[in-house]
């Protein structure tokens, strides 16, 4: 990946962050925009060749169309639609066309399909900007400022998903205590890298066994070990990436949203989702759940909204039935929690129920990881072997 290469630090982060500090206020957004373009071209080329590189045009097109967004404007709807289309075509074309031609050869199959670098994240930032501009919740900003927002390379590849109205004031402010920013930023980057290598990568010694062949051969208790190892790996991996992104942004003197807040050990699944991939959860709430009616509608409709949001959540993570199943699992857990709260009222504060609820939430979350990391048939084999031997 990108954050564990020398090139990221030596060629992009350190020079760009240093230059950002030295130039004047008017040039700062352009430092980010230009370095973001170079970053995209470099890494997109190494991942997907020339077609990947040409996807830089998506950013430039979006930057131009964004100049038309105004409060209440239909151009914002166009902007939202095109973000969804970009994501849909690149990420889901083969999946959905495969469903249309179920059990037959897919004539619409896109053989050379590839994913533009960071598409799952930058399309969400495009959508947010268009949506909030239409709702009058976000300032327009200059072209340079918007380019800096969408091309800010520390968050381009794996988030956190930013909000323009949070980013803009920080971009306009003059960074003051750069020594402190660099000390804190580098600390965050180093601890993120340590977490990635010493925990996440080490766990792959176990999680590499999550395949049909090894699941069939392993002792049953070890299956549980592998499942928990995956839970730890994905948390350490993703939170480490967020740490590095946030630390990198700090070198510029810019703050970006936190993404994780000790999610394991939360009392219930709702708290878990408020602490796991927080920028993404907030995005789903603001741009999917609330527009569907949120919690202000009758209970059956609320449950439907929750399930719809979590199915989208699952699908966003990957174009596959197993991801939909994983999303559905969490949707069901959230619905059960909502119904439980309605019946039982406020949660208990006694030690035993608190501990029990934390343990149960931890187990329920980890139980779902098998769906996330394996295809449906392998995951089914896994659960069958784990539960029935």
For binding to other proteins (CB under 8 A), which residues are involved? 4, 6, 180, 183-191, 193-194, 197-198, 201-202, 204-206, 208-209, 214, 217-219, 221-222, 225, 243, 246-247, 250, 258, 262
Give whichever of 130 and 236 is closer to other proteins, judged by the CB atom.
236
Query: How many C-alpha atoms does 111 have within 13 Å on its Cβ side?
Result: 2
Task: Extract the tokens encoding 321.
Answer: 């039935």
Classify each residue of 361-376 as buried b or exposed e, where b means 16 or more C-beta atoms within 10 Å of its C-beta: bbebbbebbbbbbbee
Q: Cis (ω within 30 of 0) for the bond into 160?
A: yes
* Nearest CA among 142, 388, 168, 371 for reference residue 256: 168
Give whichever of 251 and 334 is closer to other proteins, judged by the CB atom.
251
Give whichever of 4 and 270 is closer to other proteins, judged by the CB atom.
4
Neighbours of 106 (CB within 10 A): 13
Report in angstroms how near the CB of residue 69 gets to other proteins at its nearest. 34
Report in angstroms how near the CB of residue 295 gets to other proteins at its nearest. 29
Backbone torsions φ then ψ of 341, nearest 5 degrees: -65, -35
Give whichever of 191 and 366 is closer to other proteins, judged by the CB atom.
191
Cα of first residue to Cα of last residue in the chain, in angstroms, is 37
Report in angstroms how near the CB of residue 187 gets to other proteins at its nearest. 3
- Quote the DSSP letter at residue 89: I
Give whichever of 19 and 222 is closer to other proteins, judged by the CB atom.
222
- The owner of tokens 């039935």 is 321
Calculate the CA 363 to chain-centre distance. 22
Give whichever of 258 and 286 is closer to other proteins, judged by the CB atom.
258
Give whichever of 25 and 217 is closer to other proteins, judged by the CB atom.
217
Whether 239 and 195 have beta carbons less than 8 Å apart is answered as yes
Calculate the CA 331 to chain-centre distance. 17
Report in angstroms how near the CB of residue 10 gets to other proteins at its nearest. 9
Report in angstroms how near the CB of residue 364 gets to other proteins at its nearest. 22
Task: Extract the tokens encoding 165.
Answer: 């109205």
Report in angstroms how near the CB of residue 2 gets to other proteins at its nearest. 14
Quote the radius of gyration of the chain (alpha carbons, Å). 22
Report in angstroms how near the CB of residue 122 gets to other proteins at its nearest. 25
Query: How many C-alpha atoms does 353 have within 13 Å on its Cβ side?
Result: 6
Whether 321 and 96 have beta carbons less than 8 Å apart is answered as no
- Quote the DSSP letter at residue 363: H
Give whichever of 187 and 348 is closer to other proteins, judged by the CB atom.
187
Report in angstroms how near the CB of residue 191 gets to other proteins at its nearest. 4
Report in angstroms how near the CB of residue 198 gets to other proteins at its nearest. 4
Neighbours of 389 (CB within 10 A): 6
Give whichever of 28 and 250 is closer to other proteins, judged by the CB atom.
250
Report in angstroms how near the CB of residue 5 gets to other proteins at its nearest. 9
Give whichever of 211 and 270 is closer to other proteins, judged by the CB atom.
211
Q: Cis (ω within 30 of 0) for the bond into 219?
A: no
């Amino acid at each position: 990946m990108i954050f564990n290469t020398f090139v990221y630090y030596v060629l992009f982060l350190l020079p760009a962050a240093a230059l950002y500090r030295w130039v004047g206020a008017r040039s700062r957004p352009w430092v980010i925009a230009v370095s973001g373009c170079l970053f995209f071209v470099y890494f997109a080329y190494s991942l997907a060749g020339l077609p990947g590189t040409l996807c830089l045009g998506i950013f430039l097109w979006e930057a131009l169309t964004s100049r038309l967004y105004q409060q209440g404007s239909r151009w914002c709807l166009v902007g939202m639609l095109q973000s969804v289309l970009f994501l849909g075509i690149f990420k889901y074309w083969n999946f959905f066309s495969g469903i249309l031609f179920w059990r037959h050869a897919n004539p619409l199959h896109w053989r050379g399909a590839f994913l533009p670098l960071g598409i799952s994240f930058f399309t969400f930032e495009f959508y947010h900007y268009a949506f909030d501009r239409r709702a009058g919740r976000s300032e327009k900003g200059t072209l340079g400022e918007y380019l800096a927002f969408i091309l800010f390379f520390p968050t381009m590849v794996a988030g956190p998903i930013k909000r323009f109205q949070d980013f803009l004031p920080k971009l306009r402010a003059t960074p003051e205590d750069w020594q402190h920013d660099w000390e804190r930023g580098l600390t965050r980057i180093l601890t993120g890298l340590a977490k990635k290598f010493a925990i996440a990568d080490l766990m792959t010694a176990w999680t590499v066994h999550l395949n049909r062949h090894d699941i069939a051969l392993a002792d049953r208790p070890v299956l549980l070990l592998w499942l928990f190892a995956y839970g730890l790996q994905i948390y350490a991996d993703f939170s480490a990436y967020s740490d590095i992104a946030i630390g990198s942004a700090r070198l510029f003197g810019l703050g970006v949203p936190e993404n994780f807040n000790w999610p394991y050990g939360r009392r219930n699944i709702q708290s878990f989702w408020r602490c796991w991939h927080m920028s993404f959860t907030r995005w789903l709430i603001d741009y999917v759940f609330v527009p569907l009616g949120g919690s202000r509608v009758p209970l059956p409709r609320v449950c439907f909204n929750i399930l719809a949001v979590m199915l989208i959540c699952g699908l966003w993570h990957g174009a596959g039935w197993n991801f939909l199943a994983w999303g559905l699992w969490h949707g069901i857990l959230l619905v059960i929690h909502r119904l439980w709260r309605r019946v039982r009222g406020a949660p208990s504060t006694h030690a035993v129920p608190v501990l029990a609820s934390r343990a149960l939430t931890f187990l329920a979350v980890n139980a779902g990881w098998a769906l996330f990391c394996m295809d449906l048939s392998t995951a089914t084999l896994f659960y069958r072997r784990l539960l029935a031997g």
